[in-house]
Every structure is written in structure tokens, then in C-alpha cells.
């Protein structure tokens, strides 16, 4: 299309140039003819006039030929323009056909786009409905999870907190010296193991206090200080406690034996017996008092004997 337009513009320029040249030649011919006529009027000689007339004829002939050639060139140009017009018509028709085809394709494409948009809207609505359903499901799931968490916390409280509170109460009772409370064990987990350990501790303390210590105290009340708590089956602090009690009973027995020995010797008139073992605290005071008593009796008796002798 652009090439056709260019060709038309080129032909128009050639026609304008040709027309301009024809006009220039015609002007020059008219100028020459007018000059020849003026010369012929002023020239008297017949030969010169004839020559000028011949020259005028030749000039006219040249003008005719030039016009003829110009017309022929113009005819060729018109033919070329006609061909270009036909070609241009074909191109225009082709463009119209192409435009109509493109319009049909555009309409088809527009229809497809509209259909796609409709389908997309339908999918969007369906997706939105699915999102709403998902939100409802998620909300329900959250409510269920919250309920399960509350139930789990309640069960945890029953399974863990309650036994721990029971263990704390038992420990407080043990600290107060009350070993009569029974510990209930309902699980095998860490809390259950803790309760088992506390129950064993309670049983051990009860055995030490109600069994060994009580029997030892009862024997001591009867004046028998020879009994001892068996520490072979004891461990840890229980063993230390029982060993301390045994040591206390042993020291008490030694003090009683020493005091009894000195008193027995005094009753027999023997003033040479003394307590020689090392004691501490009140036992040491008892030792000193017994020994001082022996010494005082010895001085009194020796003084009385000296008086009688003198």
C-alpha cells in the first residue's frame, strides 16, 4: 500500500514537471512567433520574409510535435495511473477482506473472552463458596480443639495435680510426726513413683519409730539398756538415726553401770572405786558428782578414824 502511494506521488510529480515544460516551450514559441511577425512587418525584402515564414512553420511544427510527444507521454502516464488504480483497488479489496476477517476473528475472540470471563466468575463464586465452607470447618475444628484442650487440662489436673496435692499433705503430716495417713497410688507414671517413694519412706519411719525405737524405749523403761536397734537393714538417714539412738543407749548403759559399780563399792565400804570413763554434758556432771561423793566420804571417814585414834 505504501509502495502504491509512493508511485502515485512520483507520477504526479512527473506530470507537473511535463506540464511545466510544455508551458515554458509554448511561451517561448509565442515569443518567437511574435518576434518573427514583427520582423516580417519591418522587413521589405521578399527573400527574408519567405525565410522567416519558413522558420515560423518549422517552429509551429516543432510545437505540434512537442505537444504530440507530451500527449503520448501523458497517455502513458494515464495508462500507468489506470494500472495503479486497478492495483490499488485490488489492494483496497484485499484490505477490506482482511479487515472483515480480522473483525470476525476479533468478534470471535471477544466472544471467547466473554465466555472465559463468565467461566472465571463462576469459578470465583465456587471458590468463594468453598472458602466459606472451609472457614466454617476451621471454626468448628477450633471449637473442638478448645473443648479437647479443656478436657485434657481437667484430666491432667485429676491425674497429676491431685496426687501431687496428696503427696504434699502426706509430707506435711510426716514432718509433724503423723505417720498414720495412708497414701493411695493410682498410677505408674512419675507421680506414681514419687508416691511409692513417699509411702516407702513413711513405712520405714513407722517401722523405726513404732518398732525398733518403741521396743528400745519400752526395754529402757524396764531398766534394760542392753537392747540395740538392728541397723544392718537400714540405709541413709535411717541408719544414722538408729546408730545415734544405739550410741545414746550404750552411753546411758555405761553411765548406769559405772554409777552402779561405785554405789555398790560404797555399800560394801570400798571407797577406792571411781568412774574413770570419759563422758560429756550431763553424764560428765554425774561422773564428777559420783567421784566427789566418794572423795567426800573418804575424807569424812578418815577424819572420824583419826579422831577416834587420837
**Residue whose C-alpha is closest to residue 215's, from 205, 227, 199, 203:** 227
- The mean pLDDT value for 19-34 works out to 62
10 compared with 71, residue with greater pLDDT: 10
Out of 95, 110, 125, a domain closes at 110
pLDDT in tens, 196-207: 887 787 777 777
Identify whether residues 104 and 185 lie together within a single domain: no
254 in any annotated domain: yes
- 220-266 pLDDT, tens digit per residue, is 666 666 677 677 776 777 678 778 877 877 788 888 888 888 888 88
What integer pLDDT is reported at residue 52 of this predicted model?
52
- In a domain, residue 223? The reply is yes
pLDDT at 129 over 70: yes
- CATH code of 199's domain: 1.20.120.1530
Our CA angle for 134, 135, 139, nearest 5°, is 115
Dihedral angle over CA of 210, 211, 213, 218, nearest 10: 90
Write down which residue in 110, 127, 154 finishes a domain.
110
- As for how many domains the chain has, the answer is 2
Q: Does some domain include residue 43?
A: yes
Assigned domain for 63 exists: yes
Q: How confident is residue 111, by pLDDT bands cut at 50, 70 and 90? A: confident
Q: Has residue 11 got a pLDDT over 70?
A: no
1 vs 297, which has greater pLDDT?
A: 297
Residue 69 has pLDDT above 70, yes or no: no
Q: What is the pTM of this model?
A: 0.38
pLDDT at 214 over 80: no
The pLDDT score that the predictor gives to residue 105 is 74
Residue 44 in this model has a pLDDT that exceeds 50:
no
Is 143 a domain residue? no
Residue 285 has pLDDT above 80, yes or no: yes
**Average pLDDT of span 3-12:** 61
The pLDDT value recorded for residue 125 is 82
Q: Which residues contact 95 (CB under 8 A, 6 or more apart)?
A: 1
| Claim to verify: residue 91 and residue 187 sit in the same structural domain | no
Percent of the chain at pLDDT above 90?
Answer: 1
Range of the domain at 93: 2-110
Q: In this model, does residue 302 exceed pLDDT 70? A: yes
For 133-190, how does the pLDDT look when each residue is reduced to its tens digit (9 = 90+)?
888 888 898 888 899 888 888 777 776 677 777 777 877 777 776 767 777 777 777 7
Burial of 287 (0-12, 13-18, 19+ CB in 10 A): buried
**Residue 60 domain-assigned (yes or no):** yes
CA distance 262 to 11: 166
Looking at the structure, do residues 185 and 299 belong to the same domain, yes or no?
yes
Positive or negative CA dihedral for 136, 138, 139, 141?
A: positive
200 and 288 fall within a common domain:
yes
Which of 78, 110, 142 is the last residue before a domain boundary? 110
Is the residue at 137 inside a domain?
no
Of the candidates 240, 298, 288, the one whose C-alpha atom is nearest the C-alpha of residue 266 is 298
Query: Is 198 in the same domain as 303?
Result: yes
**Minimal CA–CA distance to 188: which of 166, 167, 168, 159?**
159
Is 291 part of any domain? yes
Amino acid at each position: 500500500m505504501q509502495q502504491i502511494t509512493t508511485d502515485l506521488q512520483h507520477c504526479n510529480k512527473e506530470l507537473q514537471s511535463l506540464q511545466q515544460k510544455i508551458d515554458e516551450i509554448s511561451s517561448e514559441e509565442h515569443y518567437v512567433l511574435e518576434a518573427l511577425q514583427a520582423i516580417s512587418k519591418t522587413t521589405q525584402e521578399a527573400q527574408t520574409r519567405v525565410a522567416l515564414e519558413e522558420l515560423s512553420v518549422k517552429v509551429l511544427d516543432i510545437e505540434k510535435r512537442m505537444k504530440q510527444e507530451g500527449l503520448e507521454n501523458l497517455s502513458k502516464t494515464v495508462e500507468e495511473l489506470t494500472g495503479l488504480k486497478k492495483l490499488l483497488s485490488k489492494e483496497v479489496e484485499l484490505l477490506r477482506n482482511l479487515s472483515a476477517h480480522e473483525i470476525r476473528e476479533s468478534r470471535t475472540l471477544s466472544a471467547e473472552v466473554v465466555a472465559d470471563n463468565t467461566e472465571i466468575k463462576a469459578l470465583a463464586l465456587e471458590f468463594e463458596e468453598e472458602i466459606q465452607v472451609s472457614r466454617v470447618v476451621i471454626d468448628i475444628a477450633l471449637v473442638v480443639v478448645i473443648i479437647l484442650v479443656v478436657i485434657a487440662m481437667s484430666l491432667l489436673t485429676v491425674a497429676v495435680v491431685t496426687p501431687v496435692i496428696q503427696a504434699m499433705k502426706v509430707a506435711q503430716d510426716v514432718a509433724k510426726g503423723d505417720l498414720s495417713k495412708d497414701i493411695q497410688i493410682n498410677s505408674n507414671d512419675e507421680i506414681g513413683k514419687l508416691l511409692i517413694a513417699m509411702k516407702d519412706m513413711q513405712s520405714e519411719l513407722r517401722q523405726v519409730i513404732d518398732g525398733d525405737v518403741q521396743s528400745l524405749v519400752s526395754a529402757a523403761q524396764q531398766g534394760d539398756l542392753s537392747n540395740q536397734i538392728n541397723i544392718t537393714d537400714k540405709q541413709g538417714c535411717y541408719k544414722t538415726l538408729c546408730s545415734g539412738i544405739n550410741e545414746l543407749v550404750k552411753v546411758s548403759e555405761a553411765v548406769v553401770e559405772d554409777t552402779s559399780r561405785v554405789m555398790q563399792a560404797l555399800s560394801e565400804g570400798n571407797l577406792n572405786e571411781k568412774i574413770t570413763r570419759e563422758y560429756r554434758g550431763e553424764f560428765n556432771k554425774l561422773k564428777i558428782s559420783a567421784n566427789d561423793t566418794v572423795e567426800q566420804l573418804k575424807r569424812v571417814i578418815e577424819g572420824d578414824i583419826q579422831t577416834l585414834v587420837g
